[in-house]
Copies of this chain bind each other. A is one copy, B any other.
Amino acid sequence: MDILAVLNLSEIALYFSKMSMFPLFDLAYYIVSILYLKYEPGSVEVSRRNPIASWMCAMLYCFASYIMADILLGESPLHYFNNTSHILLATAVWYLIFYCPLNLFYKCVAFMPVKLILTAMKEVVRVRKISMGVVHAHHAYHHGWIIMALVGWAKGAGVALISNFEQLIRGVWKPETNEFLNMSFPTKASLVGAVIFTLQQARWLPISKHNVVFLFTIFMVVTKVFMTATHSHGSPFAPIEAFICPIIFGNACGIYDDHDRVCSRDNVQSCTPSNLSPYSAKTKEELNEGTRKKKCKKTE
C-alpha cells in the first residue's frame, strides 16, 4: 500500500486499530441505534405501556449483532450480556431517550450536528464489529470462508437482518418485506465489508488488516454521514449493481425492466393487468411507495 505509506497513514491506521471502543464509541452506537428505534412507528406507545417490551427491542437494536453472531457460531445468544456494564449503559441510553423529562436527551442527540458526529462514531464501531466477527468465525472455522462472511455480515448489519422478529416483540408484523428483500445501505455495505475482511483473512488481499479496517471505516463514515446530512437514500452501490446485475442475473432482469419501462411512460394503474400475480403486481408499488417509506425507515 504505497499510497498509505506516502501519506504516513499506515501508522495512523495502526494507532486507530488499537483505539478502545468502550465506552465512548459504544455509547454513540447505542444512542444512534435507540434513536432509530424511537423513529419506528408505534415504538413510543410501546415504551409507555410496555417498558419491558420496549427495553427488549432496545437491547436488540444495540446487541442483535452479538446475539446473531453467537447463535450462528453455536454459542449462547446471551453471551454478550455477561458484560453487565455495556448492558447498563445501553439501558441508561434507552431510558434517557424514551423517558427523559421534556424529551431533552432525545432533542439533544437528534440535533443534526450532534447526530452526525454520533453517526460517524457508530460507523466506526460497525466496521470494527464486522472485522471482529470475521476473526471470531475464523477462530472456530479456519477454512470456513462462507461462515466468516456470514458472521461478519450479521455483526455489521445487526438488528436489520432480524427486524421482522424485533417488530414482532412490539406487536408489528410485516411479513411481505424483510431486510433480504429490501436491503438498506448499511446492510449491503456490511455484506461487502464482510466479504473484503474475509478475503483479507484468507490472505487473498495484499493489505494488512488494520489498513483494510481504516480504509473501510473512512468509506463508511463519509458515506453514512453524507447520507444522514442530506437525508439521501440513494445507495452508492446502485451504479455498480446496475452494471453487474444485468451481466450476472441478466437476460431475466430484462423482462421486468421492459415492463417497468412501459409503466413509467403510461398510466401506472393500467399497468397492473389482472392476470399478473399479486406478487409481481406489488413490484411497482414497492418501487414507488417503497422508496418513500424507506426514507423514514431504512437510514439506520
The reply to whether the CB of A227 lies closer than 8 angstroms to some CB of chain B is no
Partner of A171, one of B47, B151, B181: B181
B-side contacts of A81, CB under 8 Å: 144, 146-147, 150
The reply to whether the CB of A279 lies closer than 8 angstroms to some CB of chain B is yes
CB distance from A213 to the nearest CB of B (A): 23
The reply to whether the CB of A176 lies closer than 8 angstroms to some CB of chain B is yes
| Stretch of A16-24, A65-73, A218-226 on the interface side | A65-73
Q: Which of A177-234 contact B (CB under 8 A)?
A: 177-178, 180-181, 183, 191
B45 touches A145 (CB 8 A): no
The reply to whether the CB of A87 lies closer than 8 angstroms to some CB of chain B is yes
The reply to whether the CB of A42 lies closer than 8 angstroms to some CB of chain B is yes
The reply to whether the CB of A172 lies closer than 8 angstroms to some CB of chain B is yes
The reply to whether the CB of A239 lies closer than 8 angstroms to some CB of chain B is no
A279 to B168, CA, bound (A): 13
B-side contacts of A140, CB under 8 Å: 76
- On whether A249 and B48 interact (CB within 8 A), knowing A72-B78, A81-B144, A180-B169, the answer reads yes
A82 touches B181 (CB 8 A): no
A79 to B151, CA, bound (A): 12
B76 touches A72 (CB 8 A): yes
What per-residue 1/0 map shows which CB atoms of A247-266 lie under 8 Å from chain B? 01111110110000000000
CB distance from A208 to the nearest CB of B (A): 25
B-side contacts of A273, CB under 8 Å: none
A49 to B88, CA, bound (A): 41
A150 to B45, CA, bound (A): 24
What per-residue 1/0 map shows which CB atoms of A37-55 lie under 8 Å from chain B? 0000110011111111100
- On whether A99 and B46 interact (CB within 8 A), knowing A74-B76, A180-B169, the answer reads no
Q: Which of A72-127 contact B (CB under 8 A)?
A: 72-79, 81-82, 84, 87, 98-99, 101
Closest 7 CB pairs of A and B: A173-B175, A74-B76, A53-B180, A42-B279, A82-B144, A78-B147, A81-B146
Listed by A's residue number, 19 A-B pairs whose Cβ atoms lie within 8 Å are: A41-B277, A41-B279, A46-B181, A47-B249, A47-B252, A48-B256, A49-B181, A52-B191, A72-B77, A74-B77, A78-B141, A82-B141, A82-B143, A84-B143, A84-B144, A99-B249, A168-B178, A171-B175, A171-B279
